[in-house]
Structure 1
Amino acid sequence: MKRAKVAYAGGIHEATPYGAQHEAAQHGTGQIRLADGRVLAEDAVVWLPPFEVGTIIALGLNYADHLKELSGELTVTAKDEPLVFLKGPGTLIGHRGQTRRPAGVGFMHYECELAVVIGKTACKVSQADALQHVAGYTVCNDYAIRDYLENWYRPNLRVKNRDGCTVLGPWFVDAADVPDPHDLTLRTLVNGQVTQQGHTGNMVNDIPELIAYLSSFMTLRAGDVILTGTPEGVVNVDVGDEVVCEIEGIGRLVNTIVGDGAFGR
C-alpha cells in the first residue's frame, strides 16, 4: 500500500503552514484521493514527508560503484565501518518542493537514495531479525554542495544540514509490498535526461547490516529513517533544473532547483 501526507486548504485535520494536513493515496494519473474521499490534482496540494519522521540517519559512500568513482579522492575503503551522520528536521521537504542553490556555488548535486523507515524499537538486533523492524520505504533525494566539503569522508553541516536539502516522498510504501529491497533499480533524471542509474543490490552494507550496526550502539525507534546512500552518477544541477529520482516500486520524487531570490535571500 502507498500512502502520502499532503497539506490542503480544507478540512479540520492537523494544521500545517500550508493548510490542513491530510492522508492521501494514489488515484489514477496525476491525481490523489484524500482520506475524506476528495480527489485532487497532484499540484493542488503541498506534499509533505509521507510519515512522521524521527531521527534522520544518513549513509555516505554505501554503494560500491560510487566508492570506486571517488577512489582517487578517498582515504576510506569498503572495509571500513559504515560512514554515518545525522541530519536535522529542517532539512526535510516533500515531493514537488523547491531546493535552494546558493549564489556562487560551483558544484551542487543530487543523491537518489532508498529511505528505510523503522517501524518498531530496535536495540541490539541481529541481522537475521533486522527487517522485522522495518515499517516501509520511500524515496529520498539528499542534495550536497561539494564546495562546502572539508573532505570526502567527513561531511560537514553546510553540506548535509541545509534547510530544504533533503527531499522525501512522495509515497510511504509498506514493507510487505516490497519483497526484496535489495533488488530495486533506481535512477535520476535531470530535465528529462537520465544521469544516474543504479541497483540497491550494489550497497556496500545492506539494510540488515545497517540496522544491526546502528542498533548495536543507539536505539532505533518508529519513524527513524535510514538514508542508505547513492550510486555513482551524481552531476551538477543548476537553478531551474527539474530533478526526478525514481526507485522501482517505491515512487517518482520530483524536485526543482531555485535560486536565493525564491527564499528572499
Structure 2
Amino acid sequence: MSFLPTGTVYGVLLNFRGEMQALAPQMSQPPYKAAPKAPVLYVKPANTWSAHGARIAVPARVPEVEVGATIAMIISAVSLADPSQSAIESIANFVLMNDLSIPHASFFRPPVKFKCLDGFLGIGAHALPASEAGDPSRFTLEVRINGEVKQTVDFENLVRNASQLLADVGEFMTLRAGDVLMLGCDTLKEGDRPLARVGDRIDISAPGFGTLSNTLVAETA
C-alpha cells in the first residue's frame, strides 16, 4: 500500500539559497520591505494528495504547472517542546514529494487557488526511516520530465537545514506526530522551476528513496 500522510502537510518557501537570491528584489517591496525572519509556511490539504503512480488532473485553464521536487520530514511522537530532545530526533521518516502549483509571480502568502488544486501534491510510495536516510543535508534528487533530466537538487544549499528548520518552526507552532514538513523546493538557475504540461510524465528520484512518478492528464468536465 502506498504511503499517505496521517497529519497536516506543510510546505516551506525560501529555504534554498538560489530561491532566496532569485526573489531578493521582491523582498524589499511592500508590504514587508524585508526578507522574512521566520520560515514561510503554507498547507497542502488532503484534497491535493496524489499517490505514486496516480494521474494528476490539470484544469483546461492551466497551460502548464510548476514542478516542486522536494523531500519532506514526517514527524514522530517526540515533542519538539521536550528540552531533552534535539529537533532532529523528532523526525520519524522522510518521503519524496512533488509540490505542484500554477506558476505565479509573488511569494507572499501563496494563494490557495495556485497551490491547493485537487491532486497537486505527488507523494512517494514509501517513507524512508530517518535511521536509514543519513544526513538530510547530503540528500540529492533528480527531476525528469518524459525521461529527460530537467533539474538536480542538492540539499546542501538549504537556508535552514532539517534541524534548524524544525527548531525555528517550533518557535511559533507545534508539529504533531504524523505531520509532514517539506524541506523546500529549489529553483533553476533562472529563478523559476521546471514546467510540465498535460501528457507529461514527471519522475522524481533520490538515492535510497526510489522514484515518485505521476502523469499529468486533462481534467474532465
TM-score of the pair, normalised by structure 2: 0.87
SS state at 1:253 partner:
strand
Equivalence for 1:68: 21
**Aligned residues of 1:96 and 1:254 also touching (Cα < 8 A):** yes
Q: Tell me how large the CA RMSD over aligned residues is.
A: 2.2
Q: Residues of 2 paired with 1:54 and 1:214: CA distance?
A: 16
Structure with the higher strand share, 1 or 2: 1
Aligned with 1:124 (options 78, 81, 95): 81
Equivalence for 1:242: 201
**Aligned residues of 1:124 and 1:216 also touching (Cα < 8 A):** no
Equivalence for 1:140: 97
Q: Residues of 2 paired with 1:192 and 1:127: CA distance?
A: 46
**Aligned residues of 2:27 and 2:35 also touching (Cα < 8 A):** no
Equivalence for 1:177: 132
Q: Residues of 2 paired with 1:257 and 1:127: CA distance?
A: 45
Equivalence for 1:163: 118
1:110 aligns with 2:67: yes
SS state at 1:62 partner:
coil
Q: Residues of 1 paired with 2:212 and 2:142: CA distance?
A: 11
Superposition pairs for residues 179-194 of structure 1, below 5 Å? Answer: 179-194=134-149
Aligned with 1:222 (options 165, 169, 177): 177
Q: CA offset at residue 238 of structure 1?
A: 0.6
Q: Residues of 1 paired with 2:137 and 2:171: CA distance?
A: 22
Q: Deviations over 1:229-264 (max 9, x none)?
A: 111232221110000111222221001011112xxx
Which structure has the larger Rg? Answer: 1
Structure 1 pair 235–72 and aligned structure 2 pair: CA distance change class (3 A): farther
TM-score of the pair, normalised by structure 1: 0.74
* Larger relative contact order, structure 1 or 2 (CA cutoff 8 Å, min sep 6): 2
- Structure 1 stretches lacking a partner, 5+ long: 1-5, 7-47
Q: Residues of 2 paired with 1:60 and 1:53: CA distance?
A: 22
- Structure 2 stretches lacking a partner, 5+ long: none
